[in-house]
């Protein structure tokens, strides 16, 4: 499977076949403990359910391969995966993070990480100059970016950020949840660690909370992250790991559909009299379009936002009137979701009050566009 297309790797989950039964689909391993050999060794590689479970092996191997990495670990959630990276740093280490990023992680960095001793500066990561100014060679240990970034879909130039990080002696980690390895392979662009909320596109069916990290190298920092997973115990359940692998088998098909429909919706609503702005990196006028076109392949993602003319009340009223779109948080599932982002993020959110975030699923594009049209028309 060395040189196969990502679609083939995903659909066949690397072509794994159970050696004893010849089953094409791996089993769920609920066992929390494993037999020790008579000579006191654990040759199977498995001893207890918290360090490792056989059901993690295939989803981790597949994601590692799709990302072109050297190692992968799944976690109990995207937040568990992301925070493991920061916990692997030392108190006093300097971190540069984006102003526009997943709000839950931004809050964790502002509150917990700062109290624990990390020094975190938030900058406009879509401007390479801002990143360059913020890093302090020798003191900065990590640049964290997210591209496209929640909820404006701002784009960060991954290769430029990697160069800035490495020149300063720091690592580059990226939340690539929205792009997925089907659209962007950050390790090829110089990233050291790729993070996913696997709750989103990787699983894709809104029925698993999961996270993952992929490393460019199996080094001492990665060992620390692995030790944090084992000792903090933020591991996936075995059934969730099994579902995650099943979801990943159709990642390429879902992404292709989501990207095509998101592009169609974005183009349809540009210049619409009830829409103040459409935020989508696939639109030539979006500020990050040129960089996105360079580092995203096969589409610009299934996430976009619209700013509703008439402000916050018009945006909330529009979301109230949809029937095909579902009013719910999260993203990356097969069903399309709509959300008034400032309401969930609360004070300090960079989300404009008139912004509705759209997670485009795999439904019929005309149904989705028609539903938004009738909701906007009804608001008046």
Ligand X SMILES: Cc1ncc(COP(=O)(O)O)c(C=O)c1O
CB 147 within 8 Å of CB 156: yes
Among 83, 140, 156, 197, binds ligand X (CB under 6 A): 197
Residue 90 annotated as catalytic: no
Catalytic pick among 141, 157, 171, 175: 175
Q: Nearest approach, Cβ of 178 to ligand X (angstroms)?
A: 6
Mark the segment that binds ligand X (CB under 6 A) among 42-50, 73-81, 212-220, 313-321. 73-81
Nearest to 203 by CA among 146, 176, 241: 241
Closest CB to ligand X among 190 and 211?
211
- Contact flag: residue 336 with ligand X (CB under 6 A): no
How distant, in Å, are the alpha carbons of 33, 50, 53, 203, 352 from that of 240? 18, 14, 12, 9, 35
* Longest CA–CA separation in the chain, Å: 77
Closest CB to ligand X among 141 and 357?
357
Among 60, 67, 175, 240, binds ligand X (CB under 6 A): 175
CB 191 within 8 Å of CB 156: no
Residue 175 annotated as catalytic: yes
Count of residues of this chain found to bind ligand X when the rule CB under 6 A is applied: 17
Q: Hey, is 137 helix, strand or coil?
A: coil
- Contact flag: residue 186 with ligand X (CB under 6 A): no
- For residue 356 the two structure tokens come to 């509705």
Q: Hey, is 168 helix, strand or coil?
A: coil
- Contact flag: residue 77 with ligand X (CB under 6 A): yes
Question: Directed axis angle between helix 78-87 and helix 220-232, to 10°?
Answer: 130
CB 330 within 8 Å of CB 336: no
Mark the segment that binds ligand X (CB under 6 A) among 27-35, 37-45, 101-109, 129-137. 101-109
- For residue 54 the two structure tokens come to 């056989």
- Contact flag: residue 126 with ligand X (CB under 6 A): no
Mark the segment that binds ligand X (CB under 6 A) among 21-29, 91-99, 174-182, 279-287. 174-182
- Contact flag: residue 74 with ligand X (CB under 6 A): no
Nearest to 371 by CA among 320, 333, 310: 320
Catalytic pick among 102, 171, 185, 201: 102
Closest CB to ligand X among 204 and 211?
211
Among 104, 237, 287, 353, binds ligand X (CB under 6 A): 104
* CA angle 86–91–95, rounded 5-degree value: 50
- CB-count burial class (<10 Å; 0-12, 13-18, 19+) for 366: exposed
Closest CB to ligand X among 76 and 368?
76
Question: Residues 229 to 288: which contact ligand X by CB under 6 A?
Answer: none
CB 252 within 8 Å of CB 10: yes
Residue 42 annotated as catalytic: no
Residues that bind ligand X in the complex, under the rule CB under 6 A: 77-79, 102, 104-105, 146, 150, 175, 177-178, 197, 199, 209, 211, 330-331
Residues labelled as active-site residues = 50, 102, 175, 200
């Amino acid at each position: 499977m060395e040189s196969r297309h990502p679609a083939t790797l995903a659909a066949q989950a690397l072509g794994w076949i159970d050696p004893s039964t010849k089953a094409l689909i791996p089993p769920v391993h609920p066992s929390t403990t494993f037999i020790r050999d008579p000579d006191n060794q654990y040759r199977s590689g498995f001893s207890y359910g918290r360090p490792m479970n056989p059901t993690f092996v295939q989803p981790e191997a597949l994601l590692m391969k799709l990302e072109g990495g050297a190692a992968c670990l799944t976690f109990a959630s995207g937040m568990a995966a992301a925070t493991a990276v920061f916990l692997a740093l030392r108190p006093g280490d300097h971190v540069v993070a984006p102003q526009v990023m997943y709000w839950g992680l931004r809050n964790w960095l502002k509150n917990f990480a700062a109290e624990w001793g990390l020094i975190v500066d938030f900058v406009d990561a879509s401007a390479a100059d801002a990143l360059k100014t913020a890093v302090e060679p020798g003191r900065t240990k990590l640049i964290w970016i997210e591209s496209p970034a929640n909820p404006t879909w701002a784009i960060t130039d991954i290769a430029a950020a990697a160069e800035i990080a490495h020149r300063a002696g720091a690592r580059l980690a990226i939340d690539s949840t929205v792009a997925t390895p089907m659209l962007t392979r950050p390790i090829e662009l110089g990233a050291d660690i790729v993070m996913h909320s696997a709750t989103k596109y990787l699983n894709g069916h809104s029925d698993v909370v999961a996270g993952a990290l992929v490393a460019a190298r199996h080094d001492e920092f990665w060992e620390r992250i692995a030790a944090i997973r084992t000792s903090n115990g933020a591991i996936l359940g075995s059934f969730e790991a099994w579902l995650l692998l099943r979801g990943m088998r159709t990642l390429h098909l879902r992404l292709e559909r989501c990207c095509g429909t998101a592009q169609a919706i974005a183009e349809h609503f540009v210049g619409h009299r009830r829409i103040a702005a459409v935020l989508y990196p696939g639109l030539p006028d979006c500020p990050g379009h040129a960089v996105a076109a360079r580092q995203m392949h096969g589409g610009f993602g299934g996430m976009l936002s619209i700013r509703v003319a008439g402000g916050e009340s018009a945006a909330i009223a529009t979301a109230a009137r949809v029937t095909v779109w579902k009013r719910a948080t999260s993203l990356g599932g097969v069903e399309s979701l709509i959300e008034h982002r400032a309401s969930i993020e609360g004070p300090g959110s960079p989300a404009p009050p008139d912004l509705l975030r759209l997670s485009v699923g795999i439904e019929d594009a005309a149904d989705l566009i028609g539903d938004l049209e009738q909701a906007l028309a009804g608001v008046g």
